[in-house]
Amino acid sequence: MVDEKKTRIIFHERFAELFIMNESQKAKIIIKTLNKIYPKAPVPLKSKNTFTLLISVLLSAQCTDVNVNNVTKDIYPKYYKPEHFVKLGRKKIEKLIKKIGIFRIKAKSIYFMSKQVLEKHNGKVPKTFEELEKLPGVGHKTASVVMSQGFGYPAFAVDTHIHRLAQRWGLTNGKNVIQTEKDLKRIFPKKAWSKLHLQIIFYGREYCKARDCYGLTCKICTTCYPNRKKPVITKKA
């Protein structure tokens, strides 16, 4: 009787393994679930134009969107062009953003980035990844957000939330954010990239948090992996 019970358990475990969802099936569930929860995905960072969006994204590194918005709401009504920040200089920029983490480093980036936009791009934010990533303080993630939210170009910026959830959902091996971005772009349709970027961030903050779920409790994790028993250990971005 005991042997028969063990046999049934083994059979059910192996039977369940046969029905592990593939990437395409998981992608459909993820899109459907996120569209139901977040039919609209508003840009969380407030800005006055593309240039101030660039500054806000730069400021958001190691800082919450709420904190960035609280600081910039008093800046952008008066300062919103590269020439404004060049004229201010680094020390005055530091005073304006001192409530934000690593403000001295960010003030330096904002000053020299503004100077370069003014001198090399006639005061206009460049519209290519290559030119954006040449700007001081601007990496690939920042460039992706600006290309997507500022210029409407399909991009899939990967932050810490997206990197974590992509691993919990079995969409990437988590080697690094570059690999995660490549995997997500391969799995999801291009037209959905920009919206998914925001939706996954919102979902990661609300339902599949860093110190919660662990791939075991949220709607998407339990739907994609109904038989998962052990928490998913993810690699950091």
Q: Which residues are catalytic?
A: 141, 159
Are the beta carbons of 159 and 141 closer than 8 angstroms? yes
Q: How far apart are CA 51 and CA 126, in angstroms?
A: 10
Residue type, 44: P
Residue type, 150: G
Are the beta carbons of 224 and 21 closer than 8 angstroms? yes
Are the beta carbons of 137 and 111 closer than 8 angstroms? no
Q: What is the DSSP string of 81-141?
A: SHHHHHHHHHHHHHHHTTTSTTHHHHHHHHHHHHHHHHHHSTT----SHHHHTTSTT--HH
What residue has token string 């990661």?
204
Are the beta carbons of 131 and 125 closer than 8 angstroms? no
Q: For residue 182, is it left (φ>0), alpha (ψ between -120 and 50) or beta?
A: alpha
What residue has token string 């994609």?
224
